[in-house]
């Protein structure tokens, strides 16, 4: 058990962490801070946190573990602001959806204290954002990826690992570049495709009438298009180099399908669909 | 109440209709037939149907309402086989995901009896197929689209409408071409994109390892890629003219995004994502 956990940023993820960690006795006190002070107060009133810090310096000065739950674009400034306020052995972690950029920023900003930083990414979320959407089982059985550097302190890694495991998450350790390459495929590209698809539907001359002609397939396929555009703009830009290549790859598949459709090539269409269905079945099995 | 309902094809849809309609007293007897006789027997053993017909002719000869629940590619031959076996005033309907092709086929095959045919499409389904996946509430609160011709008998339309309403579906009447244009956008294109996306994931050098790096977003976005490839090949081919144009439109959105990404254009990316998120919110509201 640590004495003080500090959560910086009380949105969906920060709020859900507060709800999840509170009953576990992982820490004695949870201190929270959000640049939106009304949000900090709300978290205190809901008893998600034990103390509402009036500013960043107060929030972090006695913290044993600091978890940064702010948008990617706010990360660097925040880290800059706290680096001289934290205790010598305080451990810092984050929840950003990109890890290479974040890790590089942290290396540049933290200097010697970089060994205390354990980059992390819980693969859990919702198309809803904000404190109101926070829930205590958001991380239950979900994957959390940690991407420590070779300089990262082993005890710091262990602490962050046990922190997530207390919330019933499954922790996996890998390197930041690999993380970003894989997440580009499994999360960032589908996010962009879902956004694109909603825009394409919106352009239809029968919108919004067309929205009535939808079933569960449409609903599930487009759910992530409801996600916060500001947050996603940051993530996409931070992983843009990889994503430019990935979109190209996806486009090759699209072209192959177009050719099959152009030629009404029954066998090729069937082969494309069958191949995909088998890959989806493998996913279903691997996820049990 | 009608005397005899005949269900031709006892898969997910045919089986679910049997389960849903049985308790409603819409008909006295449900007769079922499937080219796979083991399937017909199973439906009888599960008490989904009252009688298992040994062949098509027997299945339809006393039917007041015949519902055809077979893949699009099997429709024409089946209709050909039953057209001289049905009663004079028997009403025929179907559940195919395309309506223009089906309606044209029916006009050519049925001749004078075409007025007794009411094309229909329940927008309900599952990525699972087959009798084992059938469930009695598959159509509850779901939309069923009927696309009658101007020649279609009014009483026939009323009968099919009340049939679906008995199963708690909401019935909408439109024309077959409009149906196909709209469903191309809301169902056929996302189906192809989901298939393409799974193939794209499969091509990744870290497949299947990469499947572990997925969350609920991936799961929902790809769910429909688990759908029956044979059925979808038929649907896509039957609506290929419209889909060729629709893929082109989607590609224009993809190109705009690529440009934004190429230039790391923060404002344009944010605009694309925000626009999409609002369209998704409108859908969520319109669906309440």
Written as six digits, the tokens of A153 are 């302190």
Measured CA to CA, the distance from residue A234 to residue A214 in angstroms comes to 31
Please give the share of chain A, as a percent, with pLDDT higher than 70: 100
pLDDT single digits (tens) A186-206: 999 999 999 999 999 999 999
Q: Per residue in B59-105, pLDDT tens?
A: 999 999 999 999 999 999 999 999 999 999 999 999 999 999 999 99
B positions 182-241 inside 8 Å of A (CB): 182-183, 185-187, 189-204, 206-208, 210-230, 232-233, 236-237, 240
Q: What is the DSSP string of A261-286?
A: HHTT-HHHHHHHHHHHHHHHHHHHHH
Angle at B46 between CA B59 and CA A285, to 5 degrees: 115
B70 and B78 in contact (C-beta within 8 Å)?
A: yes
Q: How many residues does chain A have?
A: 288
Q: What is the mean pLDDT of chain A?
A: 96
Helix (H), strand (E) at residue A30: strand A27-33
Region B247-262: what's the mean pLDDT?
96
List, in order, residues 6 or more apart from A20 with CB less than 8 Å away. Answer: A136, A137, A138, A139, A140, A167, A168
Predicted confidence band of residue A224 (pLDDT cuts 50, 70, 90): very high
Which of B5, B223, B259, B275 lies closest to A232 in space, CA to CA?
A: B275
Sign of CA dihedral A130, A133, A134, A140: negative
Contact map slice: B 132-171 vs A, CB within 8 A: 142-143, 145
Q: Residue B260 pLDDT > 90, yes or no? A: yes
- Tell me the pLDDT tens digit for each residue of B191-215: 999 999 999 999 999 999 999 999 9
User: Rounded to 5 degrees, what are φ and ψ at B51?
Assistant: -135, 140
**Residues from chain A contacting residue B213 (CB–CB below 8 Å):** 123, 143, 145, 179, 182-183, 186-187
Does residue B126 sit in helix, strand or coil?
Answer: coil
d(CA B148, CA A214): 20
| Cα–Cα dist A98/A235, whole Å | 6
Check A240 against B218: CB less than 8 A apart.
Answer: no
Q: Mutation target for B interface from A122, A190, A205: give the one with most B CBs within 10 A.
A: A190
Residue pair B276/A199 in contact by the 8 Å Cβ criterion: yes
pLDDT of the residue at A222: 98
CA distance A215 to B278: 19
Query: What is the pLDDT confidence band of residue A129, given thresholds at 50, 70 and 90?
Result: confident
The per-residue pLDDT for B127 is 81
Compute the distance between CA of residue B159 and CA of residue B161 in angstroms, rounded to an integer: 5
Note whether A287 contacts B190, CB cutoff 8 Å: no
pLDDT tens profile A44-95: 999 999 999 999 999 999 999 999 999 999 999 999 999 999 999 999 999 9
Could you report the predicted ipTM of this complex, rounded to two decimals?
Answer: 0.92
The pLDDT of residue B253: 95
Mean pLDDT of chain B: 96
| DSSP 8-state assignment for residue B224 | G
Chain A residue numbers with beta carbons less than 8 Å from the beta carbon of B277 are: 195, 198, 225-229
Work out the pLDDT band at A288, boundaries 50, 70, 90. low
Residues of B in contact with A222 (CB under 8 A): 190, 280, 283
Q: Looking at the predicted structure, is the pLDDT value of residue B125 above 60?
A: yes
On the 0-12 / 13-18 / 19+ scale of CB atoms within 10 A, A54 is: exposed
C-alpha span between B272 and B279 (Å, rounded):
11
């Amino acid at each position: 058990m640590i004495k003080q956990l500090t959560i910086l940023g009380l949105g969906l993820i920060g709020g859900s962490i507060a709800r999840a960690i509170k009953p576990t006795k992982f820490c004695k006190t949870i201190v929270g801070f959000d640049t939106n002070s009304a949000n900090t107060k709300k978290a205190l009133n809901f008893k998600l946190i034990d103390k509402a810090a009036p500013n960043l310096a107060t929030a972090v000065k006695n913290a044993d573990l600091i978890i940064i739950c702010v948008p990617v674009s706010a990360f660097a400034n925040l880290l800059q602001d706290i680096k001289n306020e934290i205790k010598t052995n305080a451990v810092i972690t984050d929840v950003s959806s990109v890890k290479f950029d974040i890790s590089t920023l942290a290396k540049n900003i933290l200097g010697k204290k970089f060994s205390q930083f354990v980059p992390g990414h819980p693969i859990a979320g919702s198309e809803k954002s904000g404190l109101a959407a926070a829930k205590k089982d958001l991380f239950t059985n979900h994957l959390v990826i940690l991407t420590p550097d070779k300089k990262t302190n082993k005890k710091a890694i262990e602490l962050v690992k046990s922190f997530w495991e207390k919330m019933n998450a499954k922790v996996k350790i890998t390197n930041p570049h690999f993380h970003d390459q894989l997440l580009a495929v499994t999360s960032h590209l589908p996010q962009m495709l879902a956004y694109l698809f909603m825009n394409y539907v919106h352009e239809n001359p029968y919108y919004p009438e067309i929205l009535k002609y939808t079933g569960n397939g449409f609903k599930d396929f487009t759910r992530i298009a409801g996600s916060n555009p500001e947050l996603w703009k940051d993530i996409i830009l931070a992983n843009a180099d990889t994503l430019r290549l990935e979109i190209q790859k996806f486009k090759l598949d699209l072209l192959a399908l177009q050719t099959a459709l152009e030629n009404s090539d029954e066998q090729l269409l069937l082969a494309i669909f069958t191949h995909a269905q088998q890959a989806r079945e493998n996913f279903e099995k691997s996820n049990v």
